[in-house]
Amino acid sequence: MKSYRICAVAAKFSLAAFLSLMTSHAAAQENPVDSAETTEHINAARDIAGSQWEAAFNFVCTEAPEIGGRDQSPIVEPTKIFDNLSVLGRSGTVVYALDTSEGIILIDSGYPGQEESVLLAGLESLGFNPQDIKIVIVAHGHADHYGGARYLQEQYGARIVLAEADWQMIEAAASEDGTPPIPARDVVATEGVPITLGDTQVLPTLVPGHTPGSLGLVFQVQDGDAEHTAALFGGTILLTGRISSEGLHQYVDSLAHFSEMASDMGVEVEISNHPIFNNFPAQLAALKTKADDSAHPFVIGEQAYQSFLGVISECTKVKLARRGDL
C-alpha cells in the first residue's frame, strides 16, 4: 500500500486548547431584553445540561458561537475508540471508520483536497488499507462531509450513500463556482432500511433541518465482550443564524424524532462528526488511561444521550423565541 504521511500541522493550539477557544466566547447568558418565553427555554436547557453537558449548553445556546476554521483545525490523533470503531480527521470535523467482516464503512469523508494528507494518512496509521473502504455514508450534503467522497469512489470503488434530498441538493449546486467535485449518484439512504456490510448494520433516520437530507445513524459498537448501541446525529447546526425559522422548526422536530428512535433502541454512546461541544477531548484522554475493567468513557448511558439531544432542542427554541418565531 502506498504510504501517506500526515502533513505537519503548525498549530498553535492543542486539540483541547482549540476546542476551548471555540467555546470560550460561547457563554450562554440571558439577554436583558429576553422575553419570559426565551428565559423559560434557557432555564430548561440549563437544567437538562447540568454539569455533564455544560459545554453543549454554553455553545448551542449562545447566539453566535465561535467555530473557527474547521478545515485547518488540529488533526485528531487517529484512535480506535471501540473494537470496531475508529476516529480520524480534524478536531472540528471528524470521520469515523466502522470495521466490519467485509471491509470498512466510513461515516463522512473529510474535506476536499485533504484525502491523502489527512484521511488516508489517518486510516494508514490505524492499520487500515483504503482498498477495504466499501461504503461511505455522508451524514449530510455539505462539502466538509462529502469532500473526499468522489476521490474514494474513483480510486477505490467505494459506494457513496446520501439521502435523496441531499443527493438532489449537491447535484443542484455542482455547477456553482467553488463547489468541490461531487460523487456520482449512487446509493440512496432510506429511513429505517439498514445499510449493511458483512456483519454490521447502520440504521439511518432522516433528520432534516440543517440540510433537507441530513441523517441520524445508529449502529452497534463492541468493547471486548460488551456490545453497546451508538448514535450519530449527523445534521447538527453549528450556526443557527444561517438557518431560516422554518428550518429551525424542522430541526426541533427532527431532534424529537431521533430522540424517540434512540430511546426505543437504547442508545448509550454519543458520537458527533463535529465534536466541538460534546466532551470529546476529555473522552479521548480518558480512553488513553482506561483500565481494562473500568467504564468506557464514550458509554454515557441512555438518559445522558437523551439529555444531550434535549439541550440542543431547548437551545434551538431559545433562538426561535428570540426571533419571535417559536
pLDDT, tens digit (0-9, with 9 covering 90-100), for 113-145? 999 999 999 999 999 999 999 999 999 999 999
* CA 250 to chain CA mean position, Å: 18
As a whole number, mean pLDDT of residues 27-35 equals 63
Q: d(Cα 254, Cα 235) in Å, to the nearest integer?
A: 9
Residues 175 and 199: beta-carbon distance below 8 Å: no
Task: Please tell me the predicted confidence (pLDDT) of residue 32.
Answer: 54
Cut 0.85: pTM above it: yes
pLDDT, tens digit (0-9, with 9 covering 90-100), for 255-299? 999 999 999 999 999 999 999 999 999 999 999 999 888 999 999
Angle between helices 245-265 and 302-323 (to 10 degrees): 170
**Mean pLDDT in the chain?**
91
Closest CA to 49 of 320, 321, 278: 278
Domain 35-323 has CATH 3.60.15.10: yes
Q: Which residue has the higher pLDDT, 63 or 234?
A: 234
For the cut 90, the answer to whether the pLDDT of residue 21 exceeds it is no
User: What is the DSSP-derived secondary structure letter of residue 294?
Assistant: S
Task: Please tell me the predicted confidence (pLDDT) of residue 22.
Answer: 44
* Helices (H), ranges, 174-294: 245-265, 280-288
| Domain assignments of the chain as residue spans, ordered by start | 35-323
Q: What is the DSSP string of 102-154?
A: TEEEEE----TT-IIIIIIHHHHHTT--GGGEEEEE-SSSSHHHHTTHHHHHH
For the cut 50, the answer to whether the pLDDT of residue 207 exceeds it is yes
Pairing label, strands 187-189, 226-233: unpaired
Residue with cell 463535529: 274
Q: How confident is the model at residue 183 (pLDDT cuts 50, 70, 90)?
A: very high
Q: d(Cα 230, Cα 221) in Å, to the nearest integer?
A: 7
User: What is the DSSP-derived secondary structure letter of residue 155?
Assistant: H
pLDDT, tens digit (0-9, with 9 covering 90-100), for 38-83? 999 999 999 999 999 999 999 999 988 888 777 889 999 999 999 9
Segment holding 218, helix H or strand E: strand 215-223
Contacts of 56 by beta carbon, 8 Å cutoff, 6+ apart: 49, 277, 278, 308, 311, 312
Residues 315 and 45: beta-carbon distance below 8 Å: yes
Q: d(Cα 6, Cα 249) in Å, to the nearest integer?
A: 41
Q: d(Cα 233, Cα 231) in Å, to the nearest integer?
A: 7
Residues 4 and 124: beta-carbon distance below 8 Å: yes
Cross-strand pairs, 98:
85, 105
For the cut 90, the answer to whether the pLDDT of residue 210 exceeds it is yes
Residue with cell 480520524: 88
In 33-45, which positions are buried (b, 16+ CB within 10 angstroms) versus exposed (e)?
ebeeebeebbebb
Task: Please tell me the predicted confidence (pLDDT) of residue 8.
Answer: 32
As a whole number, mean pLDDT of residues 145-163 equals 98
C-alpha radius of gyration, the chain, whole number: 19
**Which cell goes with 153?**
469512489
Task: Please tell me the predicted confidence (pLDDT) of residue 20.
Answer: 44
pLDDT, tens digit (0-9, with 9 covering 90-100), for 212-223? 999 999 999 999
